[in-house]
Amino acid sequence: MKCLRRILFLAILPFVITISVNAQDLTFLDLDAQVQSAINNGEWLRVLELAKSQIKSDVEREEGYYYSALAFYNLGKNKMAKPYMNHLRKMDQTELDPKIKELHDRLNSGENKGIKETFFLNYDPKKGIRLYDRSFLSFSYDSKLPFGIAVGSINHHGIATYLQVRGNSEILTKSGEITVRSNGNIYGTQNKDSEATGKIRKGTAEFVMGVTWKIHQPLWWYAGAGLNHSREFWEVTIFEENGNSLGEIWARNTEINLNQALVESGFILDFNGFNLRGGTSLVGFDFSKIRYNMGIGFSFKRK
């Protein structure tokens, strides 16, 4: 019985190895296609990430080392490219040799492209290239809603989300049981004389959820939708029977209690810790109500 098991194992083993090798080749080919696409788009940080995956996939193939060196060269990091070039010289000759020689000559000539994106490069000799996605906290302001806070994320690949809350101090106005209507009628005074003083507060609060998308380091675009809630409060004076004033209170106007759709869009500038934002918001799809806002905050990297 044991002999039969060994025979079956030895018979199946070549097929298992073949399937494993083919799967590895498919993975490598897919990575190579992604690398070529990133090179065509000039996304050299992306090339570095993919080249690192190529090396992990098959350390005996030269593509991962070559593309790592090529990306570092295009990022203006010639010194970081040379260890990969040294490793390539120890490997067997391949069809990449002409390209490797050309890159070798460029590196030895001292040519350095030094593009701006290197300022945002996080490089660890042990972990390789890494772009850290970040979370942010920002405080926003516009002329009608001076208090706002936004929390969310900005990713280097794909979309991320954010949440924003804005409002003014008037939305926190305390009102009792007395209410008013837009025609001036006052209710809930328990048969006491009352009159409006003419002072009106308009309270507004907004809640927005949206997404962020990287355009190019350090610029992100954001867009969101949510709810705009507004209320109106009237100052009312209450009088005793003898005509003496009991003081003023705030009464809520029951006819002004609006919920409207809100959309917004803008841009975020993030400098690895310092965060700026600016954009516009539109309430009720009424372009006469378009508002401009700005914000400042900070961000921190996520592992």
Question: CA torsion 161→163→164→165, rounded to 10°?
Answer: 170
9 domain-assigned:
no
* 23 in the same domain as 121: yes
More confident residue, 160 or 240: 160
Q: How confident is the model at residue 16 (pLDDT cuts 50, 70, 90)?
A: very low
* 197 in the same domain as 123: no
Q: 299 Cβ partners below 8 Å, 6+ apart?
A: 134, 135, 136, 137, 154, 270, 272, 273, 274, 275
Q: What is residue 171's predicted lDDT score, i.e. its pLDDT?
A: 92
* 285 in the same domain as 168: yes
Q: What is residue 120's predicted lDDT score, i.e. its pLDDT?
A: 40
> CATH code at 220?
2.40.160.20
5 domain-assigned:
no
Tokens 């101090």, residue located: 169
Is residue 251 pLDDT above 80, yes or no?
Answer: yes
148, 167 contact by CB (below 8 A): yes
- Report the mean per-residue pLDDT for the chain: 81
Tokens found for residue 208: 């927005």
Indicate the number of domains in the chain: 2
* 271 in the same domain as 199: yes
Q: What is residue 213's predicted lDDT score, i.e. its pLDDT?
A: 94
Q: What is residue 303's predicted lDDT score, i.e. its pLDDT?
A: 62
More confident residue, 190 or 231: 231
Nearest to 224 by CA among 239, 213, 216: 213
Q: What confidence tens digit (pLDDT) does each residue in 104-124 have?
A: 888 877 665 544 443 344 444
* 266 in the same domain as 235: yes
114 domain-assigned:
yes
- Among the candidates 95, 130, 165, a domain finishes at 130
* 200 in the same domain as 104: no
C-alpha span between 101 and 89 (Å, rounded):
10
* 115 in the same domain as 148: no
Q: How confident is the model at residue 73 (pLDDT cuts 50, 70, 90)?
A: confident
Q: What is residue 146's predicted lDDT score, i.e. its pLDDT?
A: 93
* 70 in the same domain as 211: no
8 domain-assigned:
no
Q: How confident is the model at residue 11 (pLDDT cuts 50, 70, 90)?
A: very low
Weakest-pLDDT range from 35-49, 108-122, 232-246, 278-292: 108-122
* 117 in the same domain as 261: no
> CATH code at 108?
1.25.40
- Among the candidates 77, 105, 130, a domain finishes at 130
* 181 in the same domain as 295: yes
Weakest-pLDDT range from 56-70, 111-125, 138-152, 263-277: 111-125
* 182 in the same domain as 87: no
- Among the candidates 130, 150, 167, a domain finishes at 130
Q: What confidence tens digit (pLDDT) does each residue in 158-200 have?
A: 899 999 999 999 999 988 788 898 888 888 887 788 888 889 9
Q: What is the extent of the structural domain holding 73?
A: 15-130
* 153 in the same domain as 68: no
Q: What is residue 119's predicted lDDT score, i.e. its pLDDT?
A: 37
Tokens 């007395």, residue located: 178
